[in-house]
Every structure is written in C-alpha cells, then in structure tokens.
Amino acid sequence: MASRSASLLRGRASVTSLLAHPGPVKHVRKLHVSSILQKVKPYLLADIGEGIREVEIIQWFVKPGARVEQFQKICEVQSDKAITEISSRFDGIIQKLHYEANEMAQVGRPLVDIDIQSELSPEDGAYTTPPEEQAKATQVPRSQDAPNEDATAEGQPARPDESEAELMEARLDTMSSSTRSNNPSKHRTLATPAVRHLTKTLGIEIVNVQGTGKEGRVLKEDVLNHQKRQSEGSTSTVPFKLTQEDKTMPLTPIQNQMFKSMTKSLHIPHFLYTDSLDFGNLNRVRKSFEQQSGVPKSSALAFIVKAVSIAMSKFPVLNARLDVADQSKPQLHYRVHHNIGIAVDTPQGLLVPVIKSVQTLSIPEIAAEISRLGSSGREGKLTGSDLSGGTITVSNVGSIGGGVVSPVIVEGQSAIIGVGKAKLVPAFDDAGNVIRREECILSWSADHRFVDGASVARAAEVVKHNLEQPANMIMSLR
C-alpha cells in the first residue's frame, strides 16, 4: 500500500511540474497514466437473457472502497421474471456504484466502477466498454500524415493536455476519498426479500434497523424489535394524527409481468367448470405414506398434479397450444411433456414455477419438486427455466381460503385448475345415513376456442376418480 501511495504521489508531482515549467519543446509526449489508474473501468450490466432490458437493484453486497474478487457477489437484481445475483468478473476495488437500491439499472450500461487489479483479456472489453465507445473503436484511426493537434500554431511551444492532467487529478482525489467513504445510503443493508417486504409493509426504513445476523444481515426479529422500540418510544397521550398521504408508485417487476400476462389473457374465451370431490380416502393414503420410513411427506397438491397429468394423457387437447400466427389457418401444437405450473405466493407477489415432465415423475418426486420450487420462490431464487415452459397450471388458492374460484388462463396454455379449501361438510352415504365428508372443490377454466365443455367435464371426472380412489391412481402409474 505504501509503494502504491508513493507511485500516486509521484504521478501528482509530475503533473504539477509539467504545468509549472512548460519550457519550449518541439514534441511533447502524451501524459502517461500509471497502469493502475488506466484499469479503473466501468463494469457493465451484462445481458441476462430472455429480452430483458432493465432490472431493479434489490440490494448491494459491496460499497465504494470494498475489495472484490472474481466471482464474488456484487449485487442482487430483480427482473420481471426472477431475482438474480450479479458477480464480479475481476479482482479489484469498487470505486463507484452507479445506482441506488430500488433503482432501475439498464442492461449494457455501467453498474459499478472497479479499479481492476487483475489481467484484462480481449474478451473483457465487452464487460468494461460501453456500446458507444465500442462503436468509436471500430472507426478508422487518424492518418499519421495528419497535422499534430498537440502542436500550437506560429511556432508556439506545445503544452501538456490540461484536460488530461485535470482528469488524472480528479481520479486521484476520487480514489483517495472513496476509500474513506462510508455512506450507508450507498450500501443497502443485507436482508432476504421476505424481510424487505416486511419492512415495506410496516413502513420501516431498512437502513435504520440494526442487523444481528451473519455479516450484519437484518433478520425478521430485528425488524419486529425495531418496531417494538418505536412503539414503546411513542406516548399514548398524543392524539392521533393522520400523517400519511396518497402516493403513486410504478408497478414492481413482478406486477408488471402480471399486468402484461393478464392483459394478453383478456382475448381468451374462458369456459368455467366446477365439481366437488371427497378428500377422505386421499388424506388416509397420505397419512399412511407419511408413517413409512424413507418416504417424504406429500401434500394433497402432489396427488392433484399427478391426477391432472393422467387426465392429460387421456385428453391430449389439454396439453396443446393454439397457434394463431396465421389467423386464417389456426393450428394446434400437441406437446409431449406435461409441464404443469403451480402458483406460489411469495413476498414479491404471485409466481408460477413449472414442474417439468410430470408424466415421468412419481408422487414423492413431484412433492419434492413442489417443495424446492416453493422455497426458491419465497427466497427469490427461481431461475428463468423454473418459470417457463408451462402447458397447464394448478393454483392451490385453497391454502389461503375460498371454495369456488374463477382462475384466469395464461396465454399459451389450454387450461388452469383452481383448488379450493378442503372443509368438513355433512353428506349422505349409499344407505342414506348422514356422514362427515372432507369436501374440496376444483374449478376449471379452459380455452373455449379449442377445448369444448364435454372434454373438460370428462377430464375433471378422471381427476376426481383418481383423487377419491387414490389406490387406482397409484396402480396406473408407470
């Protein structure tokens, strides 16, 4: 560090000397900036795929003056599809953050400035050179026969490029001051998306909460304790006064994606079909499975997903996609894999990750995938692959409440099934006796442009039969 400081001071002194003693010279060499200074470069936000042009900065893992290594996490961003962590491609020191938390960052624009302390390869230019500078680099260089712009007219002595010297001085000041900077507004406190959602719900600024987790991470308990201290600090004798005002805010990335998706769904004619079924036998089978060692716990949703897949095998139209590229000749594309989406309620909003190739999975395997996708969704770790490729959707809205629902079809899919809340109701057995029944209502919405009502009703009966007699479903598995 001492040698580096000395080098910087020598560079500053050389600039001062050149400006103070501009003796007559015939040729002045361009001012040379040390290799360290030349490597202070912008690190661009790379293309993360799927046509995404901007992302929201969720939180920073670094701040100005922090040292980073290759592959170390810099920040966490959220697109309209998923949350992604951005890593550094270089070793070096962070000089500047170009965005604050909650701001929208543009793909291809500088994300941070890094004093790069590792070798740069030709391929690294795509990560450190803005598009407009790359375009300039492709232009034909100036001819050597062209007049020297650094030489002055009428034989006057040439002077060093004062703007370049001033740039060097500014960079020196920036580097020395940025290492001393400790402005918390530039570095968002570490916290999970669920905790950040809680702070927004309670109206608490996360930077004011003292984190007790690893590396100062703010935990749920920290937020609740902070709110409790605020409540205890207020006096009950002060009359209530409304201080909040109406405000207008842009849609979050997930809300924006939902807006686009549901707007596209408006042109789909929905056919709604509902039916109730008895969950009694299904719950007894589930409990029997749970008592066996080595068998993971399976929710009713895993059985429902498998029953829907069996119905799709019997009625392939439910796994088809309507192609209307040519309005005069619409076509049906029949898909092989049963990629069934499941609606997941997350702190960021409703997401629909997809279980791929359900027809090849056992019920325990489906249950394990439901658990993985649910956890990833709540932690904001779902990938673009997890959220794409769905052919039909199952929405377990009954886990929150409700009975009969009217779910909305996602464009490109044939149907969606809403699962209501299971509840105990009185019913009659075959002998006319009143019995307790565990009733659940399934609500189907199908694209009535190519799925007729009879096909939906027959498919719903297949699902009902397999769920009310789960032994038959298990026997039919391959």
Query: What digits encode the pLDDT tens for the residues 430-466?
Result: 888 998 999 999 999 999 999 999 999 999 999 999 9
| Helix (H), strand (E) at residue 28 | none
Global pTM reads: 0.57
Interatomic CA distance for residues 404 and 423, integer angstroms: 13
Interatomic CA distance for residues 394 and 396, integer angstroms: 6
What is the per-residue DSSP string for 416-433?
Answer: EEEE---EEEEEE-TTS-
Contacts of residue 37, defined as CB under 8 A and 6 or more positions apart, other chains included, come to: 11, 168, 171
CB 295 within 8 A of CB 316: no
Question: What's the pLDDT band for 421 if we cut at 50, 70, 90?
Answer: very high
Which of 215, 214, 222 has the alpha carbon at shortest distance from 195?
Answer: 222
Output the average pLDDT for the chain. 78
Q: How many C-beta atoms surround the C-beta of residue 295 within 10 A?
A: 13
Paired strand residues for 328: none
Interatomic CA distance for residues 352 and 358, integer angstroms: 15
Interatomic CA distance for residues 373 and 381, integer angstroms: 9
More confident residue, 240 or 75: 75
Interatomic CA distance for residues 420 and 407, integer angstroms: 11
Report helix, strand or coil for 41. strand
Interatomic CA distance for residues 290 and 59, integer angstroms: 40
| Helix (H), strand (E) at residue 444 | strand 434-447
Interatomic CA distance for residues 392 and 320, integer angstroms: 9
The residue annotated as part of the active site, out of 98, 197, 270, 448, is 448
Whether 452 is catalytic: yes
How does pLDDT run across 114-165, given as a tens digit for each residue?
A: 988 877 777 777 778 776 666 666 555 554 444 444 444 444 444 444 444 4
Interatomic CA distance for residues 462 and 306, integer angstroms: 11
Burial label, 51 (beta-carbon count in 10 A; 0-12, 13-18, 19+)? exposed
pLDDT, residue 56, reads: 84
In the chain the first and final C-alpha atoms are separated, in Å, by 67
How does pLDDT run across 26-42, given as a tens digit for each residue?
A: 444 444 444 444 478 88
